Structure 1
Amino acid sequence: MTRKFFGTDGMRGLTNSEPMTAETALRVGQAAGAHFLRGDHRHRVVIGKDTRLSGYMMESAMVAGFTSVGMDVVLLGPMPTPAVAMLTRSMRADLGVMISASHNPFHDNGIKLFGPDGYKLSDDTERAIERRLEKAPKLAKAEMIGRAKRIDDARGRYIHFAKSTFPEQLRLDGLKIVIDCANGAAYHVAPEALWELGADVVALGVTPNGTNINDGCGSTHPQSLQAKVIEEKADIGLALDGDADRLLVSDQNGRLVDGDQLMALIASQQKRSGLLKGGSVVATVMSNLGLERRLATDKIGLIRTQVGDRYVLEAMREKGCNIGGEQSGHIILSDHSTTGDGLVAGLQVLAVLVREGKPASEILDQFEPVPQLLRNVRFDGGAPLDTTKVKARIAAAEAELKGHGRLVIRKSGTEPLIRVMAEGDDLAQVERLVDDICEAVASA
């Protein structure tokens, strides 16, 4: 069964257009709630959201859906995605929901679902929920309709959890840290956690107004962070995205570091400490070849998956690995979290900074990336990757790069885009091949 609503990371789209309408959100609440009504206990769902204006509408609709099938609802308000996953487990909930479109602009929104174990739902479970969306819901009897309750201490619970992942014997005293929260879900908790650990905190992107999430700030627009690090003469800068499951880092000179460098840093530290599990790091096909080469110097393997942090996590669980992630900054540290957590990943980087006592530029520069180019081509329906012209261009590029680089072509799971990535030791060759394929896709 082809999934109609769910993509690589839950559901996502333009607000007030299908599937991101209040009506569909209500139906998803009913379908997901009915799927997790198991056993005789009083059932509970935890709902968090980011700071989008449409979050109010989507939250209310989902509350109506869940309560109508007999589920109680606990409302967290604006909270990072990893906080929802953590609180789903700690509150013994049957289901967790994050209303967010992650790094997308404010006019988009999305729905991410977590099982009672705090992990994102499997493809099979999402398909089962989609099948329920095709049928009329079985509504609860009047006396069994669910209740909704908003809790006030969710922020404090998550801050305590995040701090617990930082080594007890260490503090951040003496470090000036710039953190950009993208006017998103972590606008309160991330600066507070760093301050409680002793840091001198300079906070950006902490004045959400419903429409400025990810707008010229956060991990998708890190230029403000980089400039502020230099202006403040800070030791390091951290950039989160709208739902705070993604992290990019700036060194003291304003140089940006991506998820590949962060995984190399954390994995090498774990290996030296005897804490690395599975002997490998799990990353996607988009991670730089330089990461693979760097890990090999420490006798650490690299397992690649298709794009999507859920697939990274599935491979981590299957192979027994405790570090995985994506070049974009999703870092999953399964000793602490069941999903990507930008704040927790940042704290592990800061722990290395404190232990080493070296400038951020020295510890973050883990390897020289192989020249890599990623371009997106928007398309209007159809299947451009299936055309003879595009297939021929891809085949020719693969033949030319064989033994000297890689080519990854994929359709986005959240937007009408074809993503074209090539990497190799010859930048001019990489640029030419990407241009050729993008031209073919655009004219298909």
Structure 2
Amino acid sequence: MLIGIDDTDSTAGMCTTFIAKELCKKLEVIGFPRLIRLNPNIPYKTRGNGAVALNVKTGNNEKIKKIVLETVEKNAIFEDDKTNPGVVFLEKRNFEDYNIYTEILRDFYEKAISELVTIGEADAAARQVNAEVHKFKSGRGIIGALAAVGADLSADVTYEIIAYRIPKNYGTERKIDPESVFEMDKKTYPKTFNNVDLNLNKILILPRGNDPVFCGIRGESPEIVSEAWKLIKPLEEIEDTLIFQTNQATDAHLKKKKISELMPFDCAIVSGRVSGEPKNIHGGHVIFKLKYYSQEIDCAAYRETANFRKIIRKLRAGDKVTAYGGIGKYWAINLEKIRVLKLKKYYEKINPVCEKCKIKMKSEGNGKGFQCKKCKKKLPEDAAVLKEINRDLKPGFYEAAPDARRHLSMPLVRMKNRC
């Protein structure tokens, strides 16, 4: 039986993976539990927008369902307005046509990670596959729960080992030996990734919330994240660890679209030409316009993306680029990374050199040509030499800083290793 759970955490704390961890103690779980990140642009998400799914060995299914629902009721943060848990049970014996059902689930998952999905759409998909749905409050969590059950990780998969705190330490500062984290990264990167930001000398494995998670280490395999955890030196007692199979760092949320096809909250890959000079706006953000035929949209590199903004500032009108990101609160693509495909050549006029005196000639004024200060020889305006301007930018991929990177965004180091 497949079990999906979502939206049990809150903006202040808790973590849906904690419920998965508790259920792994009580149920016979087959394989790794799954941590499935959903569309990061959705405005009503709690924090990381992650759902979990378990594949459990069947037996007394009603007892299994009771254990799951009681665990959710015990741990979900119901007092938070944004917390609306959902639980989905899908018994494989209900699959009248396995191929059709898996296609329905896969399609729903792909939409839930890249577009806006309604509770009604989740209800309809659940009915189509004979899934049993349980809603708490508005029940919006059934969207993520069903998506987690239907997640197709066959194209790409990553892993995260999560360490959990003992209850008395909830809400207190996490205590860790920082040098052990950087040493872990040094020994395991790039098989582990997004765990530190070396430019900022910042540790990224520690969450900031008031929740049961001590840390999470992301990597390519269960073996490497286990090895990485052994290198970490926590300075507080750890209750448990659990490895999750995830869609993190896979770019699974990004779909190729034209500007005219974009909808609010979409995650997309959009190509076009830069149609104006990048502008610095209030807050330290950088914006430029991307154009494809008559359609145009703003692309934004926010302050949090750090040095990525320096790359965006180097773009010029006419450059051909591909933007990777999502539509957020404003009608603009929040850039996760960018691919510079082709740079437009720009030139500057250089005063000609006098052939006789071998010195640069002086301009006589706009449209009046040039004269050698030494021998007084004159040349017309069109004698100016055109010199290509060094753009200090090369075609290729550029990405936001690790500290600003979204869970689903594939870091360039993974892209290189997959080529």
Q: Same fold (TM over 0.5)?
A: no
TM-score of the pair, normalised by structure 1: 0.27
TM-score of the pair, normalised by structure 2: 0.28
Q: Which has the higher contact order (CA 8 A, sep 6+)?
A: 2
Hey, which of these two has a bigger chunk of helix by percent?
1
Hey, which of these two has a bigger chunk of strand by percent?
2
Q: Which has the larger Rg?
A: 2
